[in-house]
């Protein structure tokens, strides 16, 4: 994210509905890093089940900013395969887009053996553990978290 420091107004992503600058993504990544820092420690894994969007980019860089290991997941995985990936990666946190709620919920409840996931970050989840919304996860002043971390 050195480019964000050099020229935060430079375009990073060009979308049909506008432009995301390096600064925009860096701010969102810092908020996500801040949230992850309150959920674990550097070296922990966050599994990301998302399309290739600006949110995914911010999650990926936010994980790096917090010292976490991002585990990108294939969006076409079925519940059993997703459960295997979460277990195999040792993912402490799963973040997913709303459209993947059904498969994520199935993976979290039907996979054989226990899963390491303690927190789910999603717009909708029936996860029995800690759950945060996407908006909460990107907030730099999340009430249950410590000091912000720079991405």
Domains contained in the chain, CATH given: 2-137 (3.40.50.980)
pLDDT at 18 over 70: yes
* Cα 35 to Cα 24: distance, rounded to the nearest angstrom: 17
DSSP annotation of 114: -
* Cα 130 to Cα 30: distance, rounded to the nearest angstrom: 21
pLDDT at 37 over 90: yes
Residue 113 sits at φ, ψ, to 5 deg, of 80, 170
Q: Read off the pLDDT of each residue in 83-101 and give the average, rounded to a whole number.
A: 94
Confidence of residue 112 (pLDDT cuts 50, 70, 90): low
Q: Read off the pLDDT of each residue in 21-34 and give the average, rounded to a whole number.
A: 92
Give me 89's structure tokens.
Answer: 């990666």
User: What pLDDT was estimated at residue 134?
Assistant: 73
> H helices of the chain, where?
2-6, 22-37, 54-65, 79-89, 101-110, 134-137
């Amino acid at each position: 994210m050195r480019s964000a420091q050099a020229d935060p107004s430079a375009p990073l992503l060009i979308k049909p509905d506008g432009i995301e600058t390096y600064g925009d993504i860096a701010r969102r990544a810092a908020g996500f890093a801040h949230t992850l820092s309150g959920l674990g420690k550097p070296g922990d894994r966050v599994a990301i089940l998302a399309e290739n969007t600006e949110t995914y980019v911010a999650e990926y860089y936010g994980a790096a900013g917090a010292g976490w290991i991002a585990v990108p997941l294939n969006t076409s995985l079925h519940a059993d395969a997703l459960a295997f990936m979460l277990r195999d990666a040792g993912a402490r946190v799963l973040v997913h887009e709303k459209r993947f709620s059904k498969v994520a919920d199935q993976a979290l409840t039907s996979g054989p053996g226990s899963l390491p996931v303690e927190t789910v970050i999603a717009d909708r989840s029936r996860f029995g553990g800690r759950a945060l919304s996407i908006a909460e996860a990107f907030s730099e002043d999340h009430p249950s978290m410590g000091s912000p971390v720079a991405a």
